[in-house]
Chain A
Amino acid sequence: MSIYLDNQAAKPVDDRVISEMMLYFNEKFANPASLHCDGDVATDILEKSREKIANFVNASNSSDILFTSGATESNNLGIIGAAMRQKNKGNHIIISEIEHISILNIGKYLEKEGFRVSRLAVDRFGGIRLDKLEKLITDETILISISTASNEVGTLQPTAEISKIAQEKGVLFHTDAVSSESVIPIDVQEVPIDLITLSSNDIYGPRGVGALYLKKGVRVNPIIIGGGQERGMRSGSENVPGIVGFAKAAEIAKEEMPKESEKLKILRDKLIKNVLDTIPKSYLNGHPEKRLPHNAHFRFDYIEGESLILTLKEHNIAAATGSACSSKTLEPSHTLIAMGLLHEEAHGSLLVSLGRTTRESDIDHLLEVLPDQVKRLRKLSPLTPSDLLKKYEEVK
């Protein structure tokens, strides 16, 4: 097992969650739609779980929660479902340049369906331009979808301000909260948001489960048609064991979040400080303060990210990069480009995401390995300037 620092790609399921789920695979396995006693047991646990998720976002009604198969489905249901439902009110939707790929592709899909989609610009730290958001809204605007934080560079978005603007203009506001839900509390009483995408795995629950929070009175057109489960908005027999796990994960997350976030922040700051101090020509991508407590995203000049990931792999460290060479499309990360980085700069990025299982010794190990490996790749690279190489020789 390697030192796992790729928690924004997938998280381990918490042991407490796994033990909670077991009963619902083979003992209390019935379909909540069934009328017999076993069905009642399933309905009962399904609704209790729904309450726990509602509690997780501080919603007053558990019926505000719809269960889905995960964040991608919640984004589809939330955005496409709301757009289709509001079609007679207008055809304009606003997303940002740096949304998760599922939302960017939903944007492209809706354009084909006749909607106009604006992509809000971001500043050099990856924060959305609030002044531009206001100007982009027209009478035709029906929906804004901006994530709570960048899933790559970790920059937090001003969700409360967006919510205020959306309310004033009478436009629905959807947010994908997946990248922040494990570390930053969601409180829909304090910051009213119309639709929120949640994922189970991102709070250390099982994969294949998620939820869409819908504010009271907000409805979406279904995108999965069937037996009319989830108030007719999401058909299909409920994944009861998964939902039970999701609910347990939410319960634990809510309880432990303040302490856990604080711990992660300390580790993250130690990592960022040491990397920037010890590695010349290294930079932090994203906002220095307004960022996810578990995200550190670096850029190293003169080297390429996939090479770096392979090198770290040799040293038993699992991390990620926004380099084109690691992607299926061979395009560098759209987020880094939208922040104003050149392609060759975006190639040299490293994403380190911490999580519940991360220990200080993991960070120390990375800090031991990383400077030498960056140096090794720079010595190989024709882009490295001679004065930097000379400096490396001197240290030796």
Chain B
Amino acid sequence: MKSTQYSDKVLDHFKNPRNVGEIEDADGIGQVGNPVCGDLMWIYIKVGKNDEGEEIIDDIKFKTFGCGSAVSTSSMITEMAKGMTLDEAYKISRQDVADELNGLPPIKMHCSNLAADALQAAIDNYRLGTNPEVEIVTSCQLGVRVILGIEKYFGKGAYDAVPVDLEELREKRVLIVDSGDESLELALELTNYTGRVIVVTSAKSIPGNVEIRKKLKHSEVKLLQESELIEIKGELDEVEKVVIHDNDEDENYELFVDVVIVMDYRG
């Protein structure tokens, strides 16, 4: 079965998704997935009471980044859950959502069928009463951790200071480790030389002082937040790729780059 062989009902929900959007004064918010994997889902709920005094889902909305089935399952579950008591809604399973949509391609059952998890997360968020807002932490000035292999790449794509001639970096893929405002200014400057500048920062939001933050937001610098550079790799001792640790997901992934700049690297 092809990954896009969807039932008519899945396609209907994809084309005309129900309950898209956000609820500004939501009582519960659930977020699941990870854009790295290709799916990210937010579900917002507003809780009310029915005639028996039980808590029910008065209103529900969603936002989703993902493939056809990710959109359809989000839309489907909002229709199913609206008006249900919280206890009932909490019991909706991935299989229930898939069944209601007349089935999903097998390959999609696990990867893009996260709506039930998102709804449960939203109900948990409401019941535990925690603030759904993501906490914002300012720039990382924590210094740089040990980066495996970096010493042997100095002079071969790795720099521990601002390169003397930025022209050398023209159209290179440059990765800069955030070690304060100077490193961020270098990142902004480098966008005049290459279309690919990546900043790795352990901060949860855009790092830097007010002015730098503003510039970064409107620049083509790619920010990897809540992340750390942990290893440099390459054949012939030239920088070819890096291993990034995503602190939020607690997982490592590789990224192809040509140049790594870690200012004042002290190991």
CB-based contact A342/B255 at 8 Å: yes
Chain A contacts for B236, CB-based, 8 A: 132, 135-136
Complex Cα distance A129/B238, Å? 12
Known interface pairs A132-B238, A136-B236, A302-B65; A339-B20 also in contact (CB < 8 Å): no
Partner of A330, one of B4, B6, B107: B107
Partner of B67, one of A304, A339, A379: A304
Chain B contacts for A330, CB-based, 8 A: 38, 107, 111
CB-based contact B66/A340 at 8 Å: no
The 8 A CB mask of A353-396 against B (1 = contact, 0 = none) is: 00000000000000000000000000111110000000000000
CB-based contact B171/A124 at 8 Å: yes
Chain A, interface residues (CB within 8 Å), range: 35 or more
Partner of B68, one of A125, A307, A332, A347: A307
CB-based contact A347/B38 at 8 Å: yes
Chain B contacts for A97, CB-based, 8 A: 256
Chain A contacts for B238, CB-based, 8 A: 132
The winner among A135, A344, A347, A380 for most chain B CB atoms within 10 A is A380
Partner of B4, one of A124, A132, A136, A309: A309
Cβ of B267 within 8 Å of any chain A Cβ, yes or no, is no
| A306 CB to nearest chain B CB (Å) | 4
Complex Cα distance A325/B2, Å? 11
320-343 of chain A: CB within 8 A of chain B: 323-328, 330, 332, 337-340, 342-343
CB-based contact A326/B67 at 8 Å: yes
CB-based contact B4/A118 at 8 Å: no
Complex Cα distance A381/B67, Å? 11
CB-based contact B256/A306 at 8 Å: no
Cβ of A113 within 8 Å of any chain B Cβ, yes or no, is no
Cβ of A303 within 8 Å of any chain B Cβ, yes or no, is yes
Cβ of A310 within 8 Å of any chain B Cβ, yes or no, is yes
Partner of B235, one of A136, A310, A324: A136
Cβ of A139 within 8 Å of any chain B Cβ, yes or no, is no
CB-based contact B256/A310 at 8 Å: no
| B69 CB to nearest chain A CB (Å) | 8
Known interface pairs A304-B65, A306-B67; A343-B37 also in contact (CB < 8 Å): yes
Chain A contacts for B45, CB-based, 8 A: none
The winner among B65, B112, B240 for most chain A CB atoms within 10 A is B65
54-82 of chain A: CB within 8 A of chain B: none
Cβ of A187 within 8 Å of any chain B Cβ, yes or no, is no
Chain A contacts for B172, CB-based, 8 A: 123-124
CB-based contact A381/B63 at 8 Å: yes
CB-based contact B222/A123 at 8 Å: no
CB-based contact B255/A340 at 8 Å: yes
Known interface pairs A325-B3, A383-B40; A124-B195 also in contact (CB < 8 Å): yes
CB-based contact A327/B64 at 8 Å: no
Closest 5 CB pairs of A and B: A325-B67, A306-B67, A344-B35, A382-B63, A381-B65
